[in-house]
Structure 1
Amino acid sequence: MSPFAVKAIQLLLSLSLLIVLHELGHFIPAKLFKTRVEKFFLFFDVKFALFSKKIGETVYGIGWLPLGGYVKIAGMIDESMDKEQMAKPPQPWEFRSKPTWQRLIIMLGGVTVNIIVGFLIYICILGFYGRDITTNEQLPNGFAVDQSFKEMGFADGDKILSVNGEEFNNVTQINKYLFLRDVNTIEVLHADGTKETITMPEDIGTTMFQNDVLRPFSARNEPIIKQVGEDYPAEAAGFKVGDRIENVNGTPITYWHDFQEAVKANGLKENTFIVERDGSLETIKVTPNEDGVVGLNTINKTIREHYSFGESITGGISYGIGILGDYVRQFKYVFTSKGASQVGGFGAIGNLFPDTWDWLSFWETTALISIILAFMNILPIPALDGGHVMFLLYEMVTGRKPNDKFMEYAQMVGFFLLIGLVLFANGNDIYRWLFKG
């Protein structure tokens, strides 16, 4: 099965699961507060549905347009824009007839479920799998350092000892910490055995983003191939797992990053590799794909941390909070011209999944998407849950309910804004697919 198909299946399965659970977050409190739910749909049923069945007062179904899902709650101005129902006198089983606090709980239900699902998946991952981390012991050769960071005092072969004065065990996370978190100082052990504490610039994350240096530290692994990507140029060229890269385009290769830099410097032109295989040298020629990728990977050595039942709960929640915080912090980059150009739609989300089926990666990515959906849905944009919450909070503070005509216009504006964002994000995906490289 092609990598595209594997990613697409994982994306569809993950989103279907999360959409159903999100809508259950609205459905359950609505039923508890005796509010009528007229429809519960996975995907949108514009004009027709692939499947539908009425059970009790609710029609359950699957639409044909996989852009989300919805529950249609009676007496609520939502994407259905059911003006005919809203023109009738309020009924006791309608959303608009319920106390404000009940309506608020109903609207917060979907986001709450997404957060809980994300945290619960991380708890289960830690409890069943544990967590793989890379310490300095697994990186005997330290890190290769980008030139811009060498100017700050770092050097090839450095090992990370502490960040902000606290011991830093999972050292390959240093790039993410620098980009998204407040890193003031880093203590390193240089290759000559000396220790140094380096003070970081205050705006280091922004600098990394503007200069496109998102991985200033890369592990100095031996240049031994551990993975050959299926349907990538390297597979067609004849590379094999276990090959040791000795030379690329006339450049001797000592560490893995040396090979990456040699290929990058050559652009999209053909590369000549000399690899050691079973004690003999072989020459292999390969041209990168349109993204500049040949499809060779190594794997950082790791150790597995195991968690008790209690530790997995606290650890999973803590990890989930960290992921949510990181996503919120990186959101500021979206409002720059460079950040806007990198916004992605379903293609970008699909690329979060691995090329081959792996349940651990699937659940890790599903947890991440669940937390992202929670944050995106709580944004105060009409037509999103956050927009409804914003108006409900206004009503609770002022004691006045926005009139139905205002809510209809707000819903329309929010809907067209969302459509525009979806088209823009997926347009970026298409543009990168057609023209990148």
Structure 2
Amino acid sequence: APRNPVHAVLAVNDHTPEKLSLLSRLFGKKPAPTVAPAFDAGIKKGDSIVAVNGSPIKFRDQITDVADKNRGKQINLSIIRDGKAIEFSPKVATDGTIGVVFGIAKLPVKHIDFGFFESFGVGAEKTFTTFADNAKGIWKMITGKVSARNISSPIGIAKVYGAEFEWEKFWTLTGVISIALAFMNLLPIPALDGGHVVFLIIEMIKGKPLGDKFMERAQVVGFVILLSLMVFAFGNDILKLFGK
């Protein structure tokens, strides 16, 4: 049995941003239209999605990735409903959504232990896809495809996590945040490691170090950018708390 089947929650009229999963909140997956493709295809709330296009589900973002790559086309979803296997072929909306959001299924599932070497491969795969999702999310914000309101602070992350402690959710969240911070640190912003790499490349091209005054001003600019992002993220979440 798949390790992480996911529940389908239809995103129709009662959809609110709070229903979005952690990955949806972090990487800009949009709410579905009023009449969702999943609803039209016959998928119901509480269905467990175990495979997409014939590939077993390891991580819930596999579904959103496949949907994003097949905009306007049909995809195949393998569903478990009341213990029975069913196949559905919803047509992906033009914005890359199928009209469901996901949560870990509260079902008895088979536990699979990865071997020492196999775990490196699985971890590397997940790290790479999370890095890629971060890059896609930032690019979509730059190009205006996703609103900057999707940026969240620790307030938003805590709200997504919820009040109930769940071991799997805790470590998933910890891993995602760690990878996201590593990605941010590589951005070419002064005061971050990515900015230092850019300056080193410039110095290699010029053949001499950059001026001290320039470096000081660049560091100040970098800190201003980071503080502005922090204020913006906290402001976003505070406004959401008041329903704005």
Q: 1:383 aligns with which of 174, 184, 191?
A: 191
Structure 1 414/144 Cα, relative in aligned 2: closer, same or farther at 3 Å? closer
Asked whether 1:299 is paired with 2:182, we answer no
Contact 1:143/1:156 (CA < 8 Å) preserved in 2? no
Q: 1:155 aligns with which of 31, 42, 47?
A: 42
Structure 1 434/178 Cα, relative in aligned 2: closer, same or farther at 3 Å? same
Equivalent residue for 2:134? 327
Cα distance in structure 2, aligned partners of 1:408 and 1:189: 56
Contact 2:188/2:198 (CA < 8 Å) preserved in 1? yes
Q: 1:369 aligns with which of 177, 182, 200?
A: 177
Which one has the largest radius of gyration?
1
Which of 389-398 and 325-334 deviates more?
325-334
Cα distance in structure 2, aligned partners of 1:160 and 1:361: 19
Contact 1:341/1:428 (CA < 8 Å) preserved in 2? yes
Matched residue type, 2:64? K
Q: 2:76 aligns with which of 179, 187, 190?
A: 187
Equivalent residue for 1:395? 203
Q: 2:99 aligns with which of 195, 210, 216?
A: 216
Structure 1 310/185 Cα, relative in aligned 2: closer, same or farther at 3 Å? farther
**TM-score between both structures, scaled by the size of structure 1:** 0.40
Report the Cα offset of residue 370 of structure 1.
0.9
Cα distance in structure 1, aligned partners of 2:229 and 2:191: 13
Cα distance in structure 1, aligned partners of 2:169 and 2:77: 31
Contact 1:352/1:365 (CA < 8 Å) preserved in 2? no
Aligned residues: 209
Q: 1:169 aligns with which of 53, 56, 74?
A: 56
Cα distance in structure 2, aligned partners of 1:314 and 1:174: 16
Please list the CA deviations of residues 244-283 of structure 1 after superposition, one character each: whole Å capped at 9, or x if unmatched: xxxxxxxxxxxxxxxxxxxxxxxxxxxxxxxxxxxxxxxx
Q: 2:153 aligns with which of 327, 345, 348?
A: 345
Contact 1:382/1:388 (CA < 8 Å) preserved in 2? yes
Matched residue type, 1:302? V
Please list the CA deviations of residues 280-333 of structure 1 after superposition, one character each: whole Å capped at 9, or x if unmatched: xxxxxxxxxxxxxxxxx9735533222222221211222222222222222233
**Where does structure 2 lack aligned partners over 5 or more consecutive residues?**
13-34
1:49-64 equivalent positions in 2, closer than 5 A:
none
Cα distance in structure 2, aligned partners of 1:376 and 1:174: 23
Contact 1:133/1:304 (CA < 8 Å) preserved in 2? no
Matched residue type, 1:350? A
Matched residue type, 1:312? S
Question: Which is strand-richer, 1 or 2?
Answer: 1
Identity %: 27
Root-mean-square deviation (Å):
3.8
Task: Find the residue that maps to 1:204 and give its secondary structure.
Answer: coil
Structure 1 194/413 Cα, relative in aligned 2: closer, same or farther at 3 Å? closer
1:117-128 equivalent positions in 2, closer than 5 A:
none
**Where does structure 1 lack aligned partners over 5 or more consecutive residues?**
1-130, 209-214, 220-296
